[in-house]
Structure 1
Amino acid sequence: MAGQAEIPADVVALCDYERHAAERMPAPLRAYVDGAGADGLTAQANLAAWQAIRLQGRVLADLRGADTGLRLLGLDLPHPLILAPVAFHGLAHAEAEHATALGAAATGSLMVVSTQSGLPLEDIAARAQGPLWFQLYMQPERGDTLSLVRRAEAAGCRALVVSVDAPVNGLRNMEQRAGFRLPEGIRAVNLDGMRPPQIRSEPGRAATFLGLMDAAPRWEDIAWLKSQTRLPLLLKGIMSAHDAERAVAVGVDGVIVSNHGGRALDTLPATAEALPVVARQVAGRIPVLCDGGIRRGTDALKALALGASAVLVGRPQIHALAVGGAAGVAHMLTILRAELEVAMALTGRRDLAGIDETVLWGS
């Protein structure tokens, strides 16, 4: 990773990357990366909920041969820390998604490439040295959706992650106040040539009920998509037992408990609150993953204890990318893994299979 920016010596935790990134990013960009829906209550709750959970320390455990590896949907991974899909990495670094993928590969980490990446999916995959999943926003025209799926398959992506919790954008007031606009030259290139929703115009009305929701995916579209690909299919944005059961019934291969980082509907519960509800309903039939507010290895341990197979990290990868490029992303992931290993050691857990609710205080 020659030529990367030097990582400041005082970066020892993910919050340090956030602090340094805030100093380097212009205010509108900070509002885009760190902003959330409406008053940001759900984004704040994501952080606070993990912090509020207490761990149960254990001593004198036999930890010989301890390991953080797992097998997930056909992939052998060295740890359960995944880079969540995030749009437009070029806002943070000139090498954009290429740098993020390099940092992921350096740590054996799985990266989920966003539909709204600023680089073509094929270009990212061609240079990537590690495994990729592709995050899919279903399009108004099934033919356009199928085109994205075939491109992901051809590029060697190992799974499809369908975001289902944001058929319309949340009301991101911080972005609005800061006047954020995508800079010239950065756009969702994977969507070039695809038909947007047909929006009607009425004075004094937003577009939500004037065409946007008419084109939004429904459960039957997930069943159709499942029939069109051999790739494992995960739904990202499952926050209730009802939707978790529907997901299992429609035949998906995994679900991701997510509230879109608090960027969609504000006042949703924290993902730490929703995770055990979803995990109980799924009852081990398919993997359950989780994102939202993961900032420490202890957060990851708590998520695993509550039923997650792995966790995804969103904003911190952009903070690290802005500060240190590929080396920053690799360093950020190394910090998280080291914290997870320390947390496992001090709670007496030799491997991920041994992590359950007894890791938590009072269990």
Structure 2
Amino acid sequence: MIPYLDLQSQYRSIRPEVEKAVLDVLASGQYVLGAPVEDFEKRFARYCGVRHCVAVNTGTSALHLALLAAGIGPGDEVITVPMTFMATVAAIVYTGAKPVLVDIDPRSWTMDPAKVEAAITPRTKAILPVHLHGQMADMAPLLDIARTHGLTLIEDACQAHGARYRGQTAGSLGDAGCFSFYPGKNLGAAGEGGALVTDRDDIAEQARLLRDWGQTVRYRHDVMAFNYRMDAIQGAVLGVKLSHLDGWTEARRAVAAQYDEHLAEGGMALPARIEGRRHVYHVYAVCVPERDRVRGLLNEAGVSTGIHYPIPIHLQPACADLGYGPGDFPVTERFARETLSLPIFPEMTGEQIADAAKALRSAVATLAG
């Protein structure tokens, strides 16, 4: 069986480093925030090309704090997309603001800038594009729109560690960028983790305050806040893995290039290679008719797959009160019906890639009849 993801192989490749880092934390007796987290924050800020990194317990918390620190609250509207994980929209709702959705671009599968201005109202306070699958959204026109209308722009970069747009790293273009370090991410912790990055002193200061019970000094709580702190063990593990991220990214890009070659004549939509953008392939998704039947045939052939995401946000029962329905976002809905995520991880062999691609071509051909 070809696994969708192989975290065991990754662990074996860095086991001595990880175990030393974890044991050092255990020996220190300091298990929440502390030196390992501070060191990771400094290094990840440099990696992203910004001045501040605020490490937290999840990517969802990073999004929540970025919005709050930017002043988003009840009565406000935040524009985002329906093709994303629930956390993007949940973080908006947590602030008391209303998510306003716009469709995705059919080529990049990220926010369509041409749809944004029509969604702006006097209540709009922010734009929240999602860098889907490791592909950055088209940031230049989105930044222009944000500047023109005086809006905050926050990047959901939870799937885009190290992705680039015109030479700038994900998280560094907007007012803030938010990352998840869930174990399966390109930079994954040994559990939950997240961070927001920013060049804005005010956002960083407010986020640090809000993540740790609103304390400026111990037991003095200046605002009602949250327990969103990162564990020291996660900071230590992420510090080890950050040193390997660029190598893993190039390996992922090499896997994707081999998939592109094997599937070029397969009659399916592949991830777009767009000039000026560096895709980091957290997910390698293809679009195929009869996706669920194709997936079943791949499973029979010993190829594990995923779907990101089968039910778009506007059709989720939890989001019924947003007022959208079937047909409102046709590009997103077609993508949700047809997208299929193939196995991809840095340690994947050429034989595994070829076998997975062959099984996919065979499944598509069989169903095409």
TM-score normalised over the length of structure 1: 0.25
Instruction: Report which of the two structures shows the higher radius of gyration computed on alpha carbons.
Output: 2
